[in-house]
Amino acid sequence: MTTFKSTHHTVRKMVIKLGGSTLEGLNEAFFRNFKALQDQGIQLIITHGGGPAINRELAAANIQSQTVNGLRVTNEEMIEIVQSTLIGKVNPALVHELNAAGIDSVGLNGFDQTLLESEYLDYETYKYVGKVKSVNVNLLNTLTESGIVPVIACIGATKDGHALNINGDTVASEIALAVGADRLLLVTDVAGIRIKDEFQTEATPNLIKQWIDEGDIYGGMIPKVQGALNCLESGIPSVQIVNETLTGTTILSEELVK
Ligand SMILES: Nc1ncnc2c1ncn2[C@@H]1O[C@H](COP(=O)(O)OP(=O)(O)O)[C@@H](O)[C@H]1O
Ligand SMILES: CC(=O)N[C@@H](CCC(=O)OP(=O)(O)O)C(=O)O
């Protein structure tokens, strides 16, 4: 993917992804953590998913969905529901909670000033699922430099204006890479990566590849660790997968643990 590189190397930037699995249970105390980071001068960008909300809306419309490699196969009828749920419901509810916690926030999605220009990931397999082609970093910088937190729904826009469903973890990692974030935090409903009943406090790319191969990492954890690997390979020093108490796994590059 192409990015417009930020020139502000001294500013600390953090991308936080809030998983649909945990979104509805987050309280004010949780959001106050982010207020504290912001008060330390850290620029925040929040992205979110909404898998459970999408599941509810699809069920109400009597539509069954399937996932392949942790990604929802999204047909034409489903993309309408995914788009309206994420942009129309989940995003404003989160923006409201953040503003109520004293964090000035604006809701965005891939269409806004072409924030996430996207292409089909693999139409044969996934239908209306996207991959990120470019991120409008200038828009994000303009907001974060004014102390405003962009809150981004994981809907991409094709060049000709079609909405594509992109996994929230993928959007988070692509945005972290594009803005040159120092940290990516993926907040979910589990205290990090669990292998044979043990939660891991630390992991490396090699261990993660082995765990995927052996089937110890599956489903919704796959896009998270793939996003993490993508970030580590491109120089972001650490990615954390945590629950709402911020307990979980820190993934570090091989060099850093040696
Ligand atoms: N090794 C693993 N460790 C922890 N969770 C895992 C693992 N492999 C798969 N999972 C599943 O991944 C889920 C988190 O992904 P997902 O449901 O997509 O969350 P989110 O909505 O936060 O993106 C966990 O609840 C768990 O069921
Ligand atoms: C392509 C794809 O899988 N898109 C996701 C987008 C929402 C998401 O990522 O939600 P979570 O954060 O709850 O996982 C989906 O349709 O569920």
Mean pLDDT value across residues 133-153: 97
CA of 246 to the centre of ligand 1 (A): 15
Q: Is the pLDDT of residue 205 over 80?
A: yes
Residue 21 one-letter amino acid: S
CB count in 10 Å sphere of residue 61: 11
The percentage of the chain sitting over the pLDDT mark of 70, rounded to a whole number, equals 95
Model pLDDT for residues 49-62, shown as the tens digit of each residue:
999 999 999 999 99
Q: Is 172 in the pocket of ligand 1 (CB under 6 A)?
A: no
Q: For residues 52 and 48, what is the distance between their CA atoms, to the nearest angstrom?
A: 12
Mark the binding-site residues for substrate, compressed into ranges.
Answer: 50-51, 72, 165
CA of 218 to the centre of ligand 1 (A): 7
- Tell me the average pLDDT of the chain: 93
CA of 9 to the centre of ligand 2 (A): 31
Q: What pLDDT, on the 0 to 100 scale, is given for residue 5? A: 38
Which ligand 1 atom is at minimum distance from the Cα of 19?
22
Q: What pLDDT, on the 0 to 100 scale, is given for residue 238? A: 84
Q: Is the pLDDT of residue 258 over 90?
A: no
Q: Is 123 in the pocket of ligand 1 (CB under 6 A)?
A: no
Model pLDDT for residues 10-24, shown as the tens digit of each residue:
449 999 999 999 998
Give the residue, 111 or 237, on which the prediction is more confident. 111
Question: What domains can you pick out in the chain, each with its CATH number?
Answer: 13-257 (3.40.1160.10)
Both tokens assigned to 131: 């991959």
Q: For residues 174 and 120, what is the distance between their CA atoms, to the nearest angstrom?
A: 15
pLDDT band per the 50, 70, 90 thresholds, residue 255: confident
Q: Is the pLDDT of residue 9 over 60?
A: no
Mean pLDDT value across residues 67-91: 97
Q: For residues 189 and 237, what is the distance between their CA atoms, to the nearest angstrom?
A: 23
Q: Is the pLDDT of residue 6 over 90?
A: no
Q: Is the pLDDT of residue 8 over 70?
A: no
Q: Is-above-0.90 flag for pTM?
A: yes
Model pLDDT for residues 80-110, shown as the tens digit of each residue:
999 999 999 999 999 999 999 999 999 999 9
Give the residue, 7 or 172, on which the prediction is more confident. 172
